[in-house]
């Protein structure tokens, strides 16, 4: 049955029948009567053949359904066409054709709907395949992302292990560096001890050189005082003893020299200890100005950008160091005097004995205690300031050196001291020189940069100050506000002596004032 239906479909008889009908319709008015009848008979014959094939297919289909399978459909559908009253019961040929047309239209609609359904199914299948492809792409991307995450986690774990190893190595290097730093500090302490010993040896050498010069002068004076004589011929006494070769004048001269007092006193300006230590301290004072001061300024600059305030801090640190050192030395000297007064005997005076003891024990001072006193006084000073999280202990090395120098200057028989200074004082050209950023026509001192070194009324070393027009006695308030930095003018660069606010430059040592 299926093969017969496929052969009928392949022949396309209905298509040929439709084409013949359309051609007949087009040529109907052109053909003759005989031609039109022939065309109609030809179409009827073709239709009869097709109907014969259809009836064969119908009988085969009915046989496949069994004894009663297709009979009901044949009775309900074909018997009305075979009855005698089919056309006479109210249905004409036009009506039958309209029914057939409606049936054909419905069949076409059904076919169109089926085609649309099939096309929609195809579209859905296409969309489904597209979505499946997209899902597959997403699965692939997810797999790649998982691989990347795994690789990243592995690399991170590797980097973490590497960083841990590097941290351990850095900790080991830090421990090694700390050990080296401790050893270097120990060596630095040894070097400082060596420097102290070398300084003491130099002072002893200068002292011995001065004493040698004094002895040479005294021996020269003694040779001039001794009378010229010839040695007498030795004669024996009655007891067999040899007589003395020196005359009575010679014995008197030796006796006189034996009881001559010391040539140089510890309280004298010409004392070798005074001269040697004074020279060394003035040299150390120059080093404090040209080296230690600049290092302290660099340290302060990392915490405060106010250059003028930093200069004030340095000056106040030196000033307080001298005050604390002089107070401590007065107490030390009073204790020495009271102890020596109990047991003092001899040709030298008590003051000479006290000074001699001070010269021999000049290093007996409490440096940490004096440094703490200086820092405490700086904290109470309202004219200087630092940021809230910073203390004046950041310049502790500079304060320690200032305390040492101030103590040793106070321990001299004729001590060296810094000049008395005050704000808005009249500028004194014999004690100070102006800084590079000063106003050279201003008569008053705005602030001091470095103190001048005095010995009594004589200025041994000039200091440095900044003069400002309109300087007043009003002190600066303690606040973290940054002050305006004054940039050096072109005319004053050649006379620069202090540190620039932005660039560190080694200033020359303070000029030594003439000593009259």
pLDDT at 254: 32
pLDDT per residue over 89-125, tens digit each?
Answer: 444 545 545 655 676 677 678 778 888 888 899 999 9
* Distance, CA of 327 to CA of 323 (rounded, Å): 6
| Gyration radius (Cα) of the chain, Å | 64
pLDDT per residue over 120-145, tens digit each?
Answer: 999 999 999 999 999 999 999 999 99
43-47, 126-130, 155-159, 230-234, range with the lowest pLDDT: 230-234
Number of Cβ atoms within 10 Å of the Cβ of 394? 16
* Distance, CA of 439 to CA of 468 (rounded, Å): 6
The torsion defined by the Cα of 356, 278, 435 and 491, in degrees rounded to 10, comes to 170
Structure tokens at 245: 């070769």
Q: Where are the domains of the chain?
A: 2-82, 274-495
Nearest to 408 by CA among 268, 192, 200, 198: 200
Helix axes 396-410, 272-287, angle to 10 degrees: 160
Task: Specify whether the CB–CB gap between 440 and 477 falls below 8 A.
Answer: no
DSSP element (H, E) containing 465:
strand 463-467
Taking the model in full, what pTM does it have? 0.47
Structure tokens at 12: 């396309």
Which residues, at least 6 apart from 47, have a Cβ–Cβ distance to it below 8 Å? 17
Q: Does the pLDDT at position 46 exceed 90?
A: no
More confident residue, 423 or 380: 380
Q: Residue 394: pLDDT band by 50, 70, 90 thresholds?
A: very high
SS (H, E, C) 417-435: EECCCCCCCECCCCCEEEC
Number of Cβ atoms within 10 Å of the Cβ of 270? 11
Give me the residues paired with residue 512 across strands: 461
């Amino acid at each position: 049955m299926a093969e017969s239906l496929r052969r009928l479909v392949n022949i396309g008889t209905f298509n040929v029948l439709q084409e013949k009908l359309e051609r007949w319709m087009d040529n109907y008015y052109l053909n003759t009567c005989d031609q039109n009848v022939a065309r109609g008979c030809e179409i009827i014959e073709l239709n009869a053949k097709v109907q014969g094939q259809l009836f064969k297919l119908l009988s085969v289909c009915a046989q496949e359904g069994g004894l009663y399978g297709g009979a009901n459909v044949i009775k309900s559908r074909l018997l009305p066409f075979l009855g005698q009253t089919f056309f006479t019961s109210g249905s004409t040929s036009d009506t039958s054709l309209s029914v057939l047309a409606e049936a054909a239209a419905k069949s076409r609609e059904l076919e169109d709907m089926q085609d649309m359904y099939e096309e929609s199914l195809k579209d859905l299948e296409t969309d489904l395949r597209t979505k499946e492809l997209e899902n597959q792409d997403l699965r692939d991307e997810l797999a790649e992302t998982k691989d990347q995450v795994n690789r990243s986690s592995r690399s991170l774990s590797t980097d973490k292990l590497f960083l841990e190893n590097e941290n351990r190595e850095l900790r080991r290097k830090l421990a090694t560096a700390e050990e080296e730093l401790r050893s270097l500090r120990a060596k630095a302490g040894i070097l400082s001890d060596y420097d102290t010993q070398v300084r003491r040896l130099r002072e002893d050498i200068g002292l011995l050189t001065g004493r040698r010069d004094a002895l040479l002068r005294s021996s020269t004076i003694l040779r001039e005082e001794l009378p010229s004589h010839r040695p007498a011929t030795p004669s024996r006494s009655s007891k067999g003893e040899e007589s003395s070769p020196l005359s009575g004048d010679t014995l008197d001269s030796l006796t006189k020299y034996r009881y001559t007092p010391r040539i140089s006193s510890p309280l004298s300006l010409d004392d070798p200890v005074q001269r040697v230590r004074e020279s060394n301290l003035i040299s150390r004072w120059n080093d404090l100005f040209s080296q230690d001061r600049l290092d302290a300024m660099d340290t302060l600059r990392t915490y405060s950008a106010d250059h003028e305030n930093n200069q004030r801090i340095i000056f106040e640190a030196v000033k307080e160091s001298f005050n604390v050192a002089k107070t401590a030395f007065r107490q030390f000297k009073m204790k020495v005097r009271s102890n020596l007064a109990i047991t003092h005997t001899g040709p030298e005076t008590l003051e000479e004995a006290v000074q001699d003891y001070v010269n021999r024990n000049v290093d007996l001072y409490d440096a940490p205690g004096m440094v703490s006193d200086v820092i405490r006084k700086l904290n109470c000073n309202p004219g200087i300031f630092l940021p809230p999280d910073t203390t004046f202990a950041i310049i502790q090395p500079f304060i320690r050196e200032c305390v040492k120098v101030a103590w040793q200057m106070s321990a001299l028989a004729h001590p060296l001291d810094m000049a008395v200074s005050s704000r808005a004082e009249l500028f004194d050209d014999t004690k100070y020189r102006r800084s590079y950023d000063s106003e050279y026509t201003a008569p008053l001192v705005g602030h001091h940069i470095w103190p001048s070194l005095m010995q009594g009324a004589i200025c041994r070393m000039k200091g440095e100050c900044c003069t400002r027009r309109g300087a007043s006695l009003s002190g600066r308030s303690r606040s973290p506000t940054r002050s305006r930095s004054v940039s050096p003018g072109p005319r004053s660069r050649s006379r620069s002596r202090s540190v620039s606010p932005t660039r560190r430059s080694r200033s020359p040592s303070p000029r030594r004032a003439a000593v009259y």
